[in-house]
A and B are shown apart, each in its own frame.
Chain A
Amino acid sequence: MSKAITLKEAVKKPDLLASGHRLCAGCAEPIIARLVLKASRGAIIATTATGCLEVATTIFPYSAWRIPWIHTAFENAAATASGIEAAWRAMRRKGRGPLAKYETLDVVAFAGDGGTYDIGLQALSGALERGHDFTYVLLDNEAYMNTGIQRSGGTPYCAWTTTSPAGTVIPGKREWKKPIDEIVIAHEIPYTATVSPAYPLDLMQKARAAFETEGPAFIHAISPCCRGWRFPPNKTIEVARLAVETCFFPLYECRVEDGRPIYKLSPPSLAIAKRPERKKPVEEYLKIQGRFRHLFRPERRGDLIERIQRWVDRRWEMLLEKAGL
C-alpha cells in the first residue's frame, strides 16, 4: 500500500490532465479526471470512450493528456483497457517491450453514461468477468451531452432531454435511471465505489483504492453538466453536493470479500445515516436544475416530485440495509 492521500500532498502533484482542454466552462468531468489522475501510483495509461472528455481533450493536433492515452470507440473502453493490461502482463512475462519495466501499472478507462449504461455495457461486462486488473471510471452526466443532450440509460426519471422532451404528453424521461452499480457489483468484482467531485479527498482516496485493487475496479462519478442539466456553470459543485445530501446519489464503497459484497457508506452519506434529519428533500436537488423545471412551472407537479422522492427513499433504505445500518 502506498501512502494515504492528503490534500496537502495532492496539491503538489502536477496535473496529468493539462489545462487548455476544451470542455465547457464549469464542466465536472475535468475536475473528476484531474482528481482520479492525482491518485495514480506511478506509471499510468488511460483510454477514453467517445464522449465529452475524449473529444474535448484531444482536438487534433492538441492533447491534454500528459500520460499515454489511447483512443477508443464508443462501445469498447473496457475492452481496450483489457488489452492494455494483457499487453503489459505479456511484456512482463517475456521481459521485453516498452512496458516490461513497470512493476505496477495503473490502467484506467474513462467513459460516459452513454459509453457505459448503453453502448459499452457488453465490453464492460466482459472485462469484469475476465477479471482484468484495471479501473473503470464512469463519468455520469446522465445523457449524451456531446451530441446534443439525448437521453441515456443513466438519465433520471422526469429529466428533460432533446429525446425525452417535457411537454403536455410526457413529463421528460419516462423510465428510471438504470441501477448500474448493482449490475457491476453482481459481477462480483473486488471494488466498486461512488464518488462526487464535491468531495475531492474522498474521490482521490477511492481512486487510489481502485488502482491498488488487484482485478477490476469500478468508480461511478456523478458529473453535473451545466449545459445539459441547465444550471449556471458556477453551481457545478453545489449540484454535485446536493446529489449526495439528498441521497439521490449516496456515496459508498463495496468490496467483494469471499464472494460476499461488503458495503461501506462514505463519510458524507454515513453522517446522514446516523442523523437522518440531515437528509435533504430531493426537491432541493431538482429545483436548481432547469431540466426539471417542468416539475415546478407552470404548476408544481407534486405527484411526480413525490414519486421521485419515494424512489430516492427506497433506494437509500435498500443501501442502508446492505450496509447493515
Chain B
Amino acid sequence: MSEQKPGWRELPFGAIPYKSSLEYHTGDWGVERPEFDLEKCTRCTLCHFYCPEGAISFDAGHPEVDLRYCKGCGICANECPAGAIRMVRKG
C-alpha cells in the first residue's frame, strides 16, 4: 500500500508557477547569434519588435542582444532593412 496522499484541503491554494522564466536561460538553444553593424544601423527598432524572445533592447540607444535568451533564430538578421545584422557562431 502506498502512503496516504493528502486530501484536497491540505493541497496548497492554486498551482502557481512562481518563478520568472527570466531565470531560465534559453541562450544555449541556438548555435548562432546576431552581430550588429552600428554604422549601418538606422535605429529603426524593427529588430526589437520582431525578436520572438524580446532579446533585443534599445536601452542604450542602439540595438543590443541579450545572449542569455537569444535562440539564434535569425529573424532579426533576415528582416533588418539596413542589412546591419549578420549571424555569427556563438562563443
How many residues does chain B have at the interface if contact means C-beta atoms less than 8 Å apart?
Answer: 37
When chains A and B are docked, how far (Å) is the Cα of A42 from the Cα of B25? Answer: 28
Say yes or no: B72 contacts A31, CB within 8 Å.
Answer: no
Cβ-neighbour of B78 out of A25, A27, A64, A237 (below 8 A) = A237
Cβ-neighbour of B17 out of A28, A60, A232 (below 8 A) = A60
When chains A and B are docked, how far (Å) is the Cα of A232 from the Cα of B54? Answer: 20
**Chain B residues whose C-beta falls within 8 Å of the C-beta of A7 in the assembled complex:** 44-46, 49
Question: With an 8 A cutoff between CB atoms, is A169 at the interface?
Answer: no
Chain A residue, CB-CB nearest to B48: A11
**Chain A residues whose C-beta falls within 8 Å of the C-beta of B49 in the assembled complex:** 7, 10-11, 31, 34-35, 200
Say yes or no: B20 contacts A63, CB within 8 Å.
Answer: yes
Q: How many A-B residue pairs have CB under 8 A?
A: 113
Say yes or no: A18 contacts B54, CB within 8 Å.
Answer: yes
Question: With an 8 A cutoff between CB atoms, is B64 at the interface?
Answer: no
When chains A and B are docked, how far (Å) is the Cα of A8 from the Cα of B46? Answer: 10
Chain A residue, CB-CB nearest to B71: A25
Of the candidates A10, A26, A59, the one having the most CB atoms from chain B within 10 angstroms of its own CB is A26
Say yes or no: B78 contacts A63, CB within 8 Å.
Answer: no
Say yes or no: B73 contacts A18, CB within 8 Å.
Answer: no
The B-contacting residues of A in range 284-324, CB under 8 angstroms, are: none
A234-B51 contact given A20-B20, A57-B21, A62-B21, CB 8 Å threshold: no
Cβ-neighbour of A18 out of B20, B45, B71 (below 8 A) = B20
Cβ-neighbour of A20 out of B24, B45, B46, B74 (below 8 A) = B24
Cβ proximity bits A63-80 to B, threshold 8 Å, 1 near / 0 not: 110100000000000000
Say yes or no: A30 contacts B19, CB within 8 Å.
Answer: no
Say yes or no: A236 contacts B73, CB within 8 Å.
Answer: yes
**Chain B residues whose C-beta falls within 8 Å of the C-beta of A175 in the assembled complex:** none
Question: With an 8 A cutoff between CB atoms, is A197 at the interface?
Answer: yes
**Chain A residues whose C-beta falls within 8 Å of the C-beta of B37 in the assembled complex:** none
A26-B26 contact given A17-B54, A59-B17, A61-B17, CB 8 Å threshold: no
Say yes or no: A31 contacts B51, CB within 8 Å.
Answer: yes
Chain A residue, CB-CB nearest to B54: A15
**Chain B residues whose C-beta falls within 8 Å of the C-beta of A66 in the assembled complex:** 20
Minimal beta-carbon separation of B3 from chain A (angstroms): 23
Chain A residue, CB-CB nearest to B50: A237
4 nearest CB pairs, A to B: A234-B74, A20-B21, A25-B71, A63-B17
Interface residues in chain A, defined as those with a beta carbon under 8 Å from any beta carbon in chain B: 7-8, 10-12, 15, 17-23, 25-31, 34-35, 57-64, 66, 197, 200, 232-238
